[in-house]
Chain A
Amino acid sequence: MTSDYLSAALMILAGVGFALLLTAAAKYLGPHRPSAAKDYPYECGSEVIGSPRARFEVKFYQVAIVFLVFDIETAFLYPWALKYRELSCAGALAAGKCAGGVSFFGLGEIAVFMGILIVGLAYVWRKRAIGWE
């Protein structure tokens, strides 16, 4: 048991040791010449214009939220479509043949889900969050 983990431990030790060795070598062998130019942001040599912490329009936030609604819709619809045959069979499904009657469970489930999303869509539409004016 011990020998099983010994090689792994040696591996980890060698990995960490090598990283520490390189860091120490860079620290003790490398020259240290700090300068204002090195602290300056890199913009392909150009001068920096403005702050990176710029303000964005709130419209982008709306787009992100609306996107999330449609994104989740797709994420749920796809596996549902793959399982639809199974969900609409009341009995056992074998080789594509349904043994029992028709079940509306899958259809009803997705109708409820889509209904909730459509209410949301109607809301954002009415609130004029979809337009970009």
Chain B
Amino acid sequence: MGAAEWMLSKLTDATNWARKFSLFQYPFVTACCGMEFMSVAAPKYDIARFGAEFPRFSPRQADLLIIVGTITERQGPALRRIYDQMCEPKWVVAFGVCASTGGFYQNYSTMPGADQVVPVDVYIPGCPPRPEQVLDGLILLQERIQRGEGHSQITIAAESAQRKAEKLGGTYEGPLVSIRPVGEHPKLQDHKVEK
């Protein structure tokens, strides 16, 4: 490893360190899990201790999408649009079993997990999860961010490597892009989307 590469890897480490302790959440609260989310955000459990204290209600200012509650089939496109509008790199946490798998709902209207439309990085089980579980999930996410393993981080790194390879006249043979584009999404076909 050359000196320049070593410097670059240290810079990436430092950037990821900064990212993991400055998560700006967008709480996509749709159901009763919202109460537990409020509890985590409030002083008793105090998510601010982990640097994720500032909920933003605009995707332009957020990089962590927390899906709190049941996602219906009709909400899918809206959720995906919000994800697409967020700052990069971005992460997604499925808060509770409904957001993770659809939970106890087994009907035509409930989406069996938010990962049908957005790439979820961390799943927090529980109906609803206890605040401690949420904090545990957040720490797991921070570890992923530090390792650069978030879906969005992998995509950005792959795109950057691809550009670099093209510039050098070679071909890129790295990890595949892990976020399925909106246009190729079976759940989002009937929906007017911006690519």
Contacts and interface: CB of A to CB of B under 8 A. Distances in A.
Interface string B79-108: 111101100110000000000000000000
Contacts of B84: 35, 37-38
B156 A38 contact: no
B89 A31 contact: yes
B44 interface: no
A29 B19 CA distance: 11
Contacts of A1: none
B78 interface: yes
Contact of A33 (B59, B80, B82, B156): B156
A47 B85 CA distance: 13
Contact of A45 (B11, B82, B160, B192): B82
Contacts of A32: 88
Contacts of A45: 75, 77-82
What is the predominant secondary structure among interface residues of chain A facing chain B? loop
B194 A37 contact: yes
B195 A36 contact: yes
Nearest to B79: A45
Contacts of B160: 31
B10 interface: no
Interface string B55-85: 0001110000000000000010111111011
A31 B88 contact: yes
A40 interface: yes
Contacts of B89: 31
B9 interface: no
Contact of A36 (B60, B159, B194): B194
B58 A42 contact: yes
Interface in A6-47: 29-33, 35-40, 42, 44-47
Nearest to B14: A29
10 contacts: A29-B15, A35-B84, A37-B193, A38-B84, A39-B194, A40-B81, A40-B194, A42-B59, A42-B60, A44-B82
Given A36-B194, A44-B78, 5 more contacts: A37-B84, A37-B193, A38-B85, A40-B81, A42-B58
